[in-house]
Amino acid sequence: MTFEHLDKIIFSSDSSLKDVLEKLNESASYTEGGFGLVVDDNKKCIGVITDGDIRRKLLIGISLDSPIINYINKDFKFVGKNYDSHIALRIFDRKITNIPVLGDNNEIIDLLQYNDFKASSRFSSKIIRARVPVRVSFSGGGTDMSDFINTNPTSILSSTISKYCTCSVLVRADSKITIQSKDLNIFYSANSIDKISYGDDLDLVKAAIKIMQPKFGFDLEILAEFDSGTGLGGSSAIVVSIIGALNYFRNESQLDNYQIADLAYQVERIEMNRKGGWQDQYATCFGGFNWLEFKSDDILVTPLRLSRETTLELEYNLMLFKVGETRKSADIQEEHISDLKNKSELMKPKYLEMIDVSSQMRVALLKSNLKKFGDLLDKVWFIKKDIGSRVTNKEIDEYYKIAKETGALGGKLLGAGNGGYLLIYSSPLYQKKIIGLLEEKGAIFEPFRFCQKGLEVWATMR
């Protein structure tokens, strides 16, 4: 709990005993007895004073006009801004009821009072981390737009892979908020949540913070193991990680995964107006192999109970290639949404075909029929190309043609299209040759592993 009357108990070193005593008498009701902090010209705390100290000096004849600097207690007890609760308790145990909290340069940050102190409420000695994986969408992508699911129930088959965004939060003793993106090498700070302003590459992070409305200051650090705009739902993973980390502090009012995914959607699609569907927030938040069902009035996430052997074999047969440049998926999605509105009757048969293929892929996975899964992945790719004019380009089509001619069963571009990651399904017999040929053309092969967990939150010592 922040001490509300801090400015009323701070005195300059040249103040007189009389001025200080009068103000201490006024402030005695909220400092558990008259208590003051004394600072020098640089605002550094150099001592403390109590009304009892002053009265004892007056009893031996010291003038009320004397400067306070000669009578302060310079050997006072204090804690730093990142103090541990047990340090404060040891000081309180010495019958000291007011403990200054000082910054790195001995500036006054806060005042701890025994009657308001609860050791269990101190989080500053811990770092709260939240880790969220990105997703691979096998089928159904593009049918998860609000304009479509408002009138047509749809389903998406997806899984998460071992590329993560990790958010770390360290509570501060003041109301200041700092944001550090380690992968982008960007830093931002604001004196409070109300002072956060938009206008840089951290706007998505800021929006996620603001929607959670934390009542404390903190240092927040983001580390993403992927580039943005590569078709893995990375922006959703970032937002979910921030919401997940701040959700830790809500105690008995913590949000569940459905609520976190909804909030992430609100941040991206409404607050930041980034066009797109619903699958990314749910896929990254829940994690693992999931069947995502979107209806006009409900959303349901059903985990797929695949055998370990099926997961390992699927992982062994799939390859991931980074192709083309990163792109703003929202721009492609905006065209996609426009097509949905203007060509809904023409597009609807393709969407229904996509949903049907998604259902077939789900059954193929559950029955461990991976040959059929690979063939259906190929079918998904051609449906997706028919749906969106900017899904592919000549370079990506050439990559896909080479992979198929070399033995691949199927594949698809992840995300909105026109760049990012190309997923290829092939027997291990042909993989080395496919990798070599695609890398000659400029694709970058990246090994990956499936992960079975979505949002994970934990605390660690600083």
- Which region holds residue 230: left if phi is over 0, alpha if psi is between -120 and 50, else beta? alpha
Helix-, strand-, coil-residue percentages of the chain, each rounded to 5: 40, 25, 35
**What token pair was written down for 191?**
């004196």
| pLDDT tens per residue across span 432-454 | 999 999 999 999 999 999 999 99
Whether 1 is covered by a domain: the verdict is no
Whether 103 is covered by a domain: the verdict is yes
136 and 252 assigned to the same domain? yes
CATH value at residue 439: 3.30.70.890
More confident residue, 243 or 418: 243
236 and 98 assigned to the same domain? no
Whether 19 is covered by a domain: the verdict is yes
170 and 90 assigned to the same domain? no
**Averaged pLDDT for residues 299-317:** 96
412 and 338 assigned to the same domain? yes
**Averaged pLDDT for residues 310-339:** 75
C-alpha span between 251 and 246 (Å, rounded): 10
321 and 404 assigned to the same domain? yes
C-alpha span between 281 and 264 (Å, rounded): 6
299 and 314 assigned to the same domain? no
Q: State which of 121, 136, 160 marks the end of a domain.
A: 121
Question: What share of the chain in percent tops pLDDT 70?
Answer: 92
**Averaged pLDDT for residues 193-202:** 95
Q: Which domain holds residue 32?
A: 6-121
CA of 461: how far to CAs of 100, 243, 269, in Å? 23, 21, 35
Whether 346 is covered by a domain: the verdict is yes
Q: Which helix (H) or strand (E) holds 247?
A: helix 234-247
For residue 353, pLDDT beyond 90? yes
Q: State which of 77, 100, 121 marks the end of a domain.
A: 121
159 and 281 assigned to the same domain? yes
Whether 206 is covered by a domain: the verdict is yes
Whether 457 is covered by a domain: the verdict is yes
316 and 394 assigned to the same domain? yes
| pLDDT tens per residue across span 120-176 | 554 445 899 999 999 999 999 888 999 889 999 999 999 999 999 999 999 998 899
pLDDT bucket at 378, cuts 50 / 70 / 90: very high
CATH value at residue 200: 3.30.230.10
Question: Average model confidence (pLDDT) for the chain?
Answer: 90
133 and 264 assigned to the same domain? yes
Residue 352 sits at the vertex; the CA angle it makes with 313 and 297, to the nearest 5 degrees, is 95
Q: How many separate domains does the chain show?
A: 3
Q: What secondary structure does DSSP assign to 429-457, as a single string?
A: HHHHHHHHHHHHTT-EE----EES---EE
Q: State which of 103, 121, 139 marks the end of a domain.
A: 121
344 and 414 assigned to the same domain? yes
314 and 393 assigned to the same domain? yes
CATH value at residue 93: 3.10.580.10
Whether 359 is covered by a domain: the verdict is yes
149 and 220 assigned to the same domain? yes
**What token pair was written down for 403?**
């992979």
* Number of neighbours of residue 175 by Cβ within 10 angstroms: 17
C-alpha span between 141 and 224 (Å, rounded): 23
Q: Which amino acid is at 301?
A: V
